[in-house]
Structure 1
Amino acid sequence: MVTTPSQKSARARRSSVMEAHSVFDVYHKHQEISATFEELSVEMEAEDAKDDADAKSKSHEIFEKGRKSSPSFPQFHKVMKTGVIYATTRAKSNGFSPETEHEWANMGQGAPETGTLPGAPSRNFSMTIPEAELEYAPVTGLQELRVKVADYYNHLYRQGKSSQYTPDNVCVVPGGRAGLTRIMAVLGNVNIGYFTPDYTAYEQCLGLFLRISPSPLLHRDVNDALMDPKEFEFQVKGAGLGSVLLSNPANPTGQSIEGEKLRQYVDISRRNQSAIIMDEFYSHYYYDGEAVDPADGGVDDNSNWPKTVSSASYIDDVNEDPILIVNGLTKNWRCPGFRICWIVAPKAIVSMLGSAGSYLDGGANAPLQRLALPLMELDFIRRDTWALQRHFVVKRDFLLKELDKLGIIVQWKPTATFYIWADISRLPPPLNDSLVFLEECAKHKIICVPGVFFDINPRGLKTLLKSTCIANVRFSYGPPMRNLTLGMERLATLIAEWELSPETPLEYVEENME
């Protein structure tokens, strides 16, 4: 039987869908591939053997990996990969490495570029480490750094308020994830609410601690990026939530709860004694402020700050209101390698966090905490944030323009962060499946993160094909402009190659799984 070019093309598309979803199961969930998929692959291999020996070999390799991935150590819990790690793993399978990194358009990384920005104040990272610094730092952080963090919040968000933060309200931690882990460790037996889409690592921290019961906060309208405060309170009460975890501004959508709505969220937390864990790691990345940049003629002194947002503005009593703020040098100060972050909270909770840190992580790096002190000077922060916003808004606008040219939808223009939550549903099927999209991007030396990883699934109860984020992709404009330019050029080539033989992933899976 002669196979036509169009039949071969259709088979290749179907194979791509199977391969992408199977790889997800094998590498992300550490599961064996189902017998049904295996039997189906054998049929496809038999059909394709006459035409494409390479396809047969590749399919066989995928399923062999699935068999070998069955648990060798059943006494260990299988930990799922975060989105960035998964995307990087798939890139490595296509040749990505430290040696070849310059050849890739990495728009998947969750870190900002760390080099000197135009107009930014200098960062002097030279230091000598005295012998005294070789000792452990206090598990809640160096006192000098805690003082500066408290001053930062008081100066920007609490001027004129009687209740002020002190060092006792600050716990320095070795990275944001370590901070979230400490918080989860000290929570009692509570229902904890979360949104989707949201930061991929929430899935792991919400799913590992058996005392807490994750509970999704559902948008009645999928077109709502943020939840109205009245609806938020209704769901907090209805689910009996003892806590809520959210990123604000939000990763991956770039949307922000602020002003009166943020005030109401804090009031709801206080009124219902439901602790809100506010991940404010992107609180300097705002692009819609009203102040005038000194580069454009604005005043260059303490009276002229760029827009930043924090729930700290609306707290009544810093030691009574159940608001925990997580922030640090990783994003806003563009020093991810420092692994220096902090939690700002009522001092009774900070004491608990210190106890948890004594057995979880032991505390943050002592020399780097001291090296961070000049970065926490208020004048440095003001000038550095102006430079950051000036630089990143250009990259945001470039990416928005280029994605629009390619027919990729951006429903919510990001007002903050350095992410774009893109809708690829209009792309040629099955490229409109985010897992297929990643696989094909990796073949073209592009890295992005499939939307399914932001569809938080703490206990693994939601099936992949039920994900509401299957047609979404997160693009990061954290990397330098070179990455974005190269990525858009390659993405245009990739999409052009997928104009033929459309078939949706769902249609294909349903057709062949019957």
Structure 2
Amino acid sequence: MNSVSEPLIHLAARVDAIQPFYVMEMMKEAEQLERAGRDIIHMSIGQPDFTAPEPVLEAAANALRRGDMHYTSALGIRALREAIAGHYAHAYGIDVDPARIVVTAGASAALLLACTALVDRDDEVLMPDPCYPCNRHFVTAAEGKPVLVPSGPAERFQLTADDVERLWTSRTRGVLLASPSNPTGTSIAPDELKRIVEAVRARGGFTVVDEIYQGLSYDAPPVCAVSFGDDVITVNSFSKYFNMTGWRLGWLVVPPSLVDAFEKLSQNLFICASALAQHAALACFEPATLAIYEMRRLEFKRRRDFLVPALESLGFAVPVMPDGAFYVYADCRNVPHAAAGDSAVLASAMLHDAGVVMVPGMDFGSAAPHDYVRVSYATAYPRLEEAVERLRGLFSR
């Protein structure tokens, strides 16, 4: 039989404009080692080791038994939008109209909707460097241009109002922020966030704030960007605080005038978020379930409070104490290892020689990527202790 050569299919230019997601490449390497029999401690991927608690699972089972598996409104089922609005009122004291809430297929779909709705070809969007890589790729997918602003420890690795005022041009359309941030675990101070919103508003732009780690705040009450005006767009998710990563469910809070546009886009791009996930998520807001989430939040804080000084004892520097999420952005230039100062080489050595997975900084931008590794503490406390001892052994060789 004659073999038929595969036809050459032209890919859109946007594919080349989007870089690989190196954390996933690290995960592939780790999985290969695990298949070969190695015990690997995962401190890389941003996935809680906790899973959906029993009330959420029971709500999902009940929905399956009832057959509530049909398409829903593109905006989400009304009961869930009302429950989310109620959560803003009870947890943060903020009045959010349920009509402004758009339920999405995860925060990724929320960000894609926001960029599709707001970004035209060649529009520039200001973002901090470092930042979560997928966020800037959503801008690229909408044919916009992410403008990464070097943001170091002095700025808490976050964009500032001064950056907005200094870098805004006729091509700038808005800002995309994250608070608390992935990869740094740092939040934008309330006064600074307010200044950013006001600076963007004065220039007729949009402010989108990724708040998917909002519930995982440790040192002060979290700040809700919606409190700074109805024109602020926020993104949230059931993945992190609510421990429902694979359920793919999130939401947006959008200005009243934009609800119809977001609904139209959602209808065409996604139809709706998972009906099963939506019905299950209603149980997230029951008092007993929220009590479980609060205990888990405190456990994440306990892990942070152990890990930061432990990393410092190994030679890492933590220039900004992470106040949220479950990440530490650690400076690796002074660790006692030949690969100090080259986070990619060091990450490979830690994986292959100690069985500990961390993520090199090159995933998160071009500002000092070789100086930093992102360390996730979304894994069990005893495993964190073991990882520290493994690295202590590696660095003492």
Distance 1:227 1:88, change over 3 A: closer
**1:470, 1:72 → 2: CA distance?**
36
Output one character per residue of 1:460-504: Cα deviation in whole Å (capped at 9) or x when no partner.
xxxxxxx5111210000111113212211221222223xxxxxxx
Query: Which one is further off, 266-275 or 171-180?
Result: 266-275
Aligned counterparts, 1:330-479, within 5 A: 330-377=239-286, 379-380=287-288, 383-427=291-335, 428-443=337-352, 444-455=354-365, 467-479=367-379
Q: 2:225 aligns with which of 308, 311, 336?
A: 311
Does residue 199 in structure 1 map to residue 132 in structure 2? yes
| Structure 1 residue matching 2:24: 3-state secondary structure | helix
**2:80, 2:177 → 1: CA distance?**
25
**2:156, 2:332 → 1: CA distance?**
17
Equivalent pairs: percent with the same residue?
Answer: 24
Give the partner amino acid of 1:365: S
Partner of 2:49: 113
Give the partner amino acid of 1:217: V
Output one character per residue of 1:140-179: Cα deviation in whole Å (capped at 9) or x when no partner.
21111111112222344455xxxx4222201111111111
| Structure 1 residue matching 2:155: 3-state secondary structure | coil
Q: Say whether the 8 Å CA contact 2:110–2:235 is kept in structure 1.
A: yes
Distance 1:168 1:433, change over 3 A: same
Distance 1:157 1:275, change over 3 A: farther
**2:166, 2:79 → 1: CA distance?**
41
Q: Say whether the 8 Å CA contact 1:90–1:439 is kept in structure 2.
A: no
Q: Say whether the 8 Å CA contact 1:158–1:313 is kept in structure 2.
A: no
Distance 1:308 1:133, change over 3 A: same
Output one character per residue of 1:336-360: Cα deviation in whole Å (capped at 9) or x when no partner.
1221110111133232222222232
Aligned counterparts, 1:269-288, within 5 A: 269-288=200-219
**1:486, 1:435 → 2: CA distance?**
22
Partner of 2:389: 489
Partner of 2:80: 145
Partner of 1:42: none
Aligned counterparts, 1:204-283, within 5 A: 204-210=137-143, 212-219=144-151, 223-226=154-157, 229-235=160-166, 237-238=168-169, 240-283=171-214
Distance 1:230 1:343, change over 3 A: closer
**1:81, 1:381 → 2: CA distance?**
37
**1:329, 1:313 → 2: CA distance?**
21
Does residue 123 in structure 1 map to residue 31 in structure 2? no
**1:180, 1:227 → 2: CA distance?**
19
Taking structure 1 as the reference length, what is the TM-score of the superposition? Answer: 0.68
Unaligned runs of 5+ in 2: 1-6
Shift of 1:209: 2.1
**1:203, 1:72 → 2: CA distance?**
29
**1:186, 1:365 → 2: CA distance?**
22
Shift of 1:447: 1.0
Q: 1:154 aligns with which of 79, 89, 94?
A: 89
Partner of 2:26: 87
Give the partner amino acid of 1:244: V
**1:232, 1:381 → 2: CA distance?**
40
Q: Say whether the 8 Å CA contact 1:157–1:312 is kept in structure 2.
A: no
Distance 1:75 1:416, change over 3 A: closer
C-alpha RMSD over aligned residues: 2.6
- For these two proteins, the number of residue pairs brought into alignment is 381
Tell me which structure has the larger Cα radius of gyration. Answer: 1
**2:181, 2:305 → 1: CA distance?**
18
**2:170, 2:317 → 1: CA distance?**
34
| Structure 2 residue matching 1:125: 3-state secondary structure | helix
Q: Say whether the 8 Å CA contact 2:127–2:159 is kept in structure 1.
A: no
Query: Which one is further off, 80-89 or 379-388?
Result: 379-388
| Structure 1 residue matching 2:168: 3-state secondary structure | helix
Q: Say whether the 8 Å CA contact 1:327–1:341 is kept in structure 2.
A: yes
**1:231, 1:276 → 2: CA distance?**
15
Taking structure 2 as the reference length, what is the TM-score of the superposition? Answer: 0.87
**1:169, 1:147 → 2: CA distance?**
10
